Structure 1
């Protein structure tokens, strides 16, 4: 496989595993860092997914479960990745047979006609986003079950928007979508729907906090179907921050932090700078999109996750990520002495 693979691409291995890249720092020593999303089945079962007519297991309960499955079936793929400070799954490029590019999927959907209701909705929503915000189709990608081809009638429309400037434009003008009658942006009446997709205590404590967070996440309903339009940072920005690091996990950090720089906190991944209660300066990397656009400069937050140090320069990092099987929290709080 000579094709370049970058976040947020998916790829399919020779033995049929469907994998999601997890960070802009994706290619490593002739391989690609990723987390499996769907595994092929020998026999179908009620509720399984189908990809190109073949049965696949639905999502495992957590990414950690998927990682554990790979550790047992392909232990040779497990490598310590210094840039992230953890053992990760690194799939050899020689074992990858197909790459799925979100931009290509979006372009194909926009340029074709469909009988499927979800694909019709995806096409109409794409057209609306392009019209309202004056984006180019090359700025947008489609991922998730539509990208893979294993969607159901009730599936979401998962879009990604490439680039910081486009992300700023979207976030600052997101309410313009309400001009269209097919759009519903979340309010207090949607608590049950929102809660069905979120993990309590990781980033909120009350339902009002949850609704306020979700309003900032550029998501809502189109024709009654949940959509998600996630701005992602240019891979070059993230790579510049990650490449060459030599991280070592030095413990678990939990406490109050003051945000001193949130200029890259609106996107996926969200990157923040903060000062802990004991005066320790840390960089925060949030590779889970639930944390995008939640904190601003001067805010205080309760944070909990692994603490790392870059042994080159002694800089400290707190990383929140789906590949970490630990308690993780990041939620805004009032200042507490």
Structure 2
């Protein structure tokens, strides 16, 4: 109960003028804690999926570990939070701003922890890791935030570290710093035996064979271990750095598709949302004929960051969308739904 009270200080009231972003959490009037997805939202709603629901288990809350579970919960209990979005042309989990009781800010929570005495082990490791990254990258702590269960006071002794880095340039220098920290042994990637738990938490939505999963995940820098504790880092653009505003583009569902392609640009693979520019696209399952019009694959889920590298040939299974704007039109593949796949071919 004490940790929940401390977390209350990290909350702020939300008005219609506030723009929640990736990594923020929000609490609805019903006490449901949602994780905000992306930086682009309708004017009166926030795209967010339930992460913790009141039920008396984990300090009064139960964690929903998969997107499938989150959507099933809303369908069964709160279908009013599933809304057809006319811009994204899809039914999304969207919370009306008038139904939001609190917003949790990772940046403000980090600053709060800096003033706190007697940090517990999760809080201390989170702060120590943030300071190490900032020192190595020569950026201020204000460029980072601490998210996840610790931010909302629902962490356990073995909870992981969830860090957010804000700003395009800040993210780039941090990524280079992570390479240096890895070479120095201050952070370590997952070993095969350590990946089993992570695999079980993801396979429900992303059914990769374990051997392929190990090959992909073990080469990522945005996740691993610091001080023998798991960490996950998300790179998020500042709101003013986004080249897209809600309503600037319109998305139209075309159908499910499977394809192979070359990754020709992975410069935004480290961000959430992650984007990969594609070339030499070959449709392997589907009736879509204009394969040269498929320009990118996009995911709003952090698990697909660092998923493939430039020049790699990849397999993609996901949702094909037509993107329309005043500049013209093209097609993209969205991955992140149940059964979607994206991996380098052997």
Partner of 2:341: 329
Alignment of 1:66-81 (within 5 A): 66-81=70-85
**Which of residues 49, 57, 61 in structure 2 aligns to 1:56?**
61
Once the two structures are superposed, residues 38-95 of structure 1 have per-residue CA deviations (whole angstroms, 9 ceiling, x without a partner) of: 1112xx3xxx211xxxx11222x52222223223333333221233331012211111
Residue in 2 that maps onto 1:38: 52
Aligned residue for 1:99? 103
Q: 3-state SS of the aligned residue for 1:57?
A: strand
Paired position in structure 2 for 1:196: 197
Tell me how far 1:220 sits from its aligned partner: 2.3
Give 1:204 shift: 5.9
- The farther-off stretch of 92-101 and 119-128 is 119-128
Which residue in 1 is equivalent to 2:189? 186
SS at match of 1:277: strand
Q: Which residue of 2 aligns with 1:164?
A: 168
Deviation at 1:205, TM superposition (A): 4.7
Question: Given the alignment, which residue of 187, 212, 215 partners 2:219?
Answer: 215
- Paired residue for 2:10? none
Structure 2 Cα separation of the partners of residues 203 and 242 of structure 1: 32
| CA 1:217–1:21: 2 relative to 1, 3 Å | same
Q: RMSD of aligned C-alpha atoms?
A: 2.5
For residues 175 and 310 of structure 1, do their structure 2 counterparts lie closer, same or farther at Cα, with a shift above 3 Å needed?
closer
**1:281 alignment partner in structure 2:** 293
Pairs within 5 Å for 1:17-32: 17-26=32-41, 28-32=42-46
**Residue pair 1:83, 1:246 contacting (<8 A) in 2 also:** yes
Tell whether the 8 Å contact from 1:110 to 1:126 is kept in structure 2 after alignment.
no
Partner in structure 1 of residue 320 of structure 2 = 307
Question: Are residues 1:8 and 2:23 paired?
Answer: yes
Unaligned residue ranges in structure 2 (runs of 5+): 1-13, 284-290
Please say if residues 109 and 122 of structure 1, whose CA atoms lie closer than 8 Å, have aligned partners that are also in contact.
no
* Mapped partners of 1:284, 1:241: distance in 2: 19
* Partners of 1:303 and 1:331 within 8 A in 2: yes
Which residue of 1 is the match for residue 6 of structure 2? none
Identify if the C-alpha distance between structure 1 residues 122 and 32 changes in structure 2 by more than 3 Å, giving closer, same or farther.
Answer: same
Structure-1-length-normalised TM-score: 0.85
Per-residue deviation, 1:122: 1.8
- Distance change >3 Å, CA 69–CA 152, structure 1 → 2: same
Unaligned runs of 5+ in 1: none
- Evaluate the alpha carbon distance shift between residue 258 and residue 243 of structure 1 in structure 2; reply closer, same or farther with a 3 A threshold: farther
Distance (whole Å) between structure 2 residues aligned to residue 40 and residue 140 of structure 1: 29
| Distance in 2 between residues matched to 1:226 and 1:244, nearest whole Å | 38
For 1:146, the equivalent position in structure 2 comes to 150
Which of the numbers 285, 296, 320 marks the counterpart of 2:335?
320
Aligned residues: 317
Q: Determine the C-alpha separation between the residues in 2 that align with 1:230 and 1:76.
A: 29
Aligned residue for 2:20, secondary structure, equals coil
Q: Secondary structure at the match of 1:215?
A: coil
In structure 2, C-alpha distance between the alignment counterparts of 1:12 and 1:228, rounded to whole Å: 22
- Aligned-partner Cα distance in 1 for 2:207–2:166: 25
C-alpha displacement of 1:314: 4.0
